A and B are shown apart, each in its own frame.
Chain A
């Protein structure tokens, strides 16, 4: 379970996240927002990468600010950029992560082989990560995040660079994990994935949480009840550039 109570983050005087309160429990939660809305800052606060200016964060009932080590044991993170140790092989990297999370070696080996098999990377396990493509690195980051069977999984744009097979496998895997009780918190720009997979959606803009709920709840509260998630998103976050696009196309 993820519990955020009134968290804020201010950079100089700019409020990146503004008094955000949210509870996510054993569900597939998708976090949406335009660029610079505060999604990544929120994920960074929830994973201990930056400290909130104010507020409380708890993961699985453990206060992240007071007991960071125990709280961090509860989750796995797939960042937006798969920045991995380029001079390690995929196997070495996952083994290292397993040791850090205190997973016994034999379990690491077993889970790693199965996960790499799912992501069709089993034959590249002993290659240096520096030779991998963006999508392959993303797969390694996913395997590493899942190696300790976390109760909570944070994913920041996880489908970026993945091939259609891998996207499909990831979707199935995530749905299966949620069915088994894992909490999945995913930030994405791909609204179709959000629409297909999520239990609930949160929409953030300019650091404020504009709406939270299931798709049906969001539709019911929007001006077009039969609209898609894209319509709801655009309605809430505004469409300031549409007239400019039209003007440009007229002169193209």
Chain B
């Protein structure tokens, strides 16, 4: 029966592919390129680095082992964290669950199927990072073909284990809060975990261990190579996988087989326990312990209760207040905002020394260009989402006595105020951290509202034009064309703005550039808003 369920899943995937991206050859090629580009790049980069570690005398033989051990342990924990919302979705919120559970199929088979489905979708990180690293290890050590096959099979068993840990975490969460809230919370935690991992990597700079890089730090490499993996690490299955592969590479097939069977036994145990555990959760009705989410009243009350007439300003504020609730109660939106905020701060700190020889004045401004770039992308992204965030409820909104102009005004005001607050905080933090001169801080503060407004102009227009009101995930709030155009036009607008400032300040002075680029931003917000209002007015509701 498990096979039949997968056959059905395959059919769904095939139909989705042929009627979606796969249906058009140019999108098919683009999709395949996107899927292959990153793993191939990681494979190539890692292979070169591994070869250097293996064959250059200044490196300890432990360097490669330490690196693989640490990375795969990181992967184990990241997969366990990222699996929580996926498990909650597939095992408890799947739309096909009522059909499957009411069909004459063993309940455990259904849960095993859903578990494998979740594990598959939770393997994206491993696909992009784990497989290329294992491939690079095999290629760098010139391993025979069977090494690749064993590494691949062992990886599949390994992937079961973090997903079982995700089940334990997911069930613990739903004992405290509702499944939907648990999924929201878990999604936010995943976002934070990945951001922390990314930030850590940026500050760690792997290039410092790469002898081909200009950043190469021999002392650090020596130190890293002479570290010994802590004994406690041996209890983690990621360590078994790495030990198994290294023993196999060195010809100790007996020890390799032992680790392989340990991994196999644990993953099979996890696989069977996962279904049993979910079945137990359902049988004990743990899913329905929390029936509803009570929201405390008046905790966030902007307006006092009034018996008087409702003014237009109050109506606009009511839309803003509702949008704030829609955003802060859905952690997926918060994660996105947090992501941009982190980028705004981390990126300028990373590249602060990479400005080369731009001149003393420009060197001061250089990190802030990236802050404003991320502010611009964040503004476009948030404002583009504020129309589709209404979801299919927008039908009701459209039937209300509200003009499109008021709706757009509310959305722009919300985006502007919230992002300006974030950008000012980030600028203040960076100015403090980078010890920037006072005039730099002032110029950046002057630019911020204009850059934000221009980006909102682009975002709100594309948001109306490409809105998908029936989204299930904030990533799919805009049609694909809209998403691509959003990044493209926002970056282009920003680049053009930077060019205006550069040219004008080169030929006249910086302040002329500031004025000219401010006018340019005002033109964009004006055009974007005007067209957004017109389009929203004409929008026909077919849901």
Enumerate A117-140 residues with CB–CB distance to B below 8 Å: 124, 126-128, 130-131
Interface positions of B from 437 to 491, Cβ below 8 Å from A: none
> Does B541 sit within 8 A of A, measured CB to CB?
yes
* Residues in B whose Cβ lies below 8 Å from that of A89: 295
Let me know if A109 is at the binding interface, CB within 8 A.
yes
B146 at the interface (CB under 8 A from A): no
Residues of chain A with a CB closer than 8 A to B293's CB: 127-128, 130-131
B403 at the interface (CB under 8 A from A): yes
Q: Nearest Cβ in chain A — how far from B539, in angstroms? A: 9
Contact partner, A102, options B295, B315, B390, Cβ 8 Å? B315
Interface flags, B379-407, vs A, CB<8A=1, else 0: 00000000000111101101111110000
> By CB atoms of chain A within 10 A, which of B306, B400, B542 has the most?
B400
* A172 contacts chain B at the CB level, 8 A cutoff: no
Q: Flag if B310 contacts A126 (CB, 8 Å).
A: no
Select one of B178, B295, B297, B395 contacting A83, CB under 8 A.
Answer: B395
How many chain B residues touch the partner (CB < 8 A)? 41
A91 beta carbon closer than 8 Å to chain B: yes
Query: Would you give the 0/1 interface string for A36-72, flagging 1 where the beta carbon is closer than 8 Å to chain B?
Result: 0000000010011111000000000000000011101
- Which of B306, B326, B329, B402 is in CB contact (< 8 Å) with A69? B402
Q: Which of B401, B403, B541 contacts A44 (CB under 8 A)?
A: B541
Instruction: Give the number of residues in A that approach B within 8 Å (Cβ atoms).
Output: 45
A87 x B330 contact (CB < 8 A): yes
Contact B325 A92 (CB under 8 A): yes
Q: Which residues of A contact B305 (CB under 8 A)?
A: 105-106, 109
CB-based contact A126/B295 at 8 Å: yes
Of A91, A100, A141, the contact of B402 (CB 8 Å cutoff): A100
Query: Is the pair B292, A131 in contact by a Cβ cutoff of 8 Å?
Result: yes
Asked if A104 contacts B396 (CB within 8 A), the reply is: no
Whether, in the assembled complex, B314 has its beta carbon less than 8 Å from a beta carbon of chain A, the answer is yes
A229 interface contact, C-beta 8 A: no
Q: Let me know if B223 is at the binding interface, CB within 8 A.
A: no
Set of chain B residues within 8 Å of A87, measured between Cβ atoms:
325-326, 329-330
A99 within 8 A of B: yes
CA distance A68 to B294 in the complex (A): 37
| Contact in complex: B400, A88 (CB < 8 Å) | no
Instruction: Tell me if B540 is interfacial: C-beta within 8 Å of chain A.
Output: yes
A83 touches B401 (CB 8 A): no
Q: Please tell me which stretch of A17-25, A73-81, A206-214, A230-238 contacts chain B, meaning at least 4 of its Cβ atoms lie within 8 angstroms of it.
A: A73-81
Chain A residues contacting B399 (CB-CB under 8 Å) are 47-49, 72, 75, 77
How long is the Cα–Cα vector from A72 to B303 in the complex, in angstroms?
Answer: 25
CA distance A99 to B511 in the complex (A): 45
- On whether A127 and B294 interact (CB within 8 A), knowing A83-B396, A84-B393, A101-B400, the answer reads yes
- Give Cα A47 to B303, complex, Å: 30
Residue B527, interface by CB 8 Å: no
- The verdict on B149 contacting chain A, using a C-beta distance below 8 Å, is no
Q: How far is the CA of A86 from the CA of B392 in the complex (A)?
A: 10
Using a CB–CB distance below 8 Å, which chain B residues touch chain A? 178, 180, 291-297, 303, 305-310, 314-315, 318, 322, 325-326, 329-330, 390-393, 395-396, 398-403, 538, 540-543
Complex A-B: 8 CB contacts under 8 Å: A50-B541, A83-B393, A84-B396, A88-B325, A101-B401, A127-B295, A128-B292, A131-B180
In the A-B complex, list the 8 residue pairs whose CB atoms are closest, starting with the nearest. Answer: A127-B292, A49-B541, A72-B401, A83-B392, A102-B310, A99-B318, A87-B329, A131-B292
B-contacting residues of A (Cβ < 8 Å)? 44, 47-51, 68-70, 72-73, 75, 77, 79, 81, 83-89, 91-92, 95-97, 99-107, 109, 124, 126-128, 130-131, 141, 144
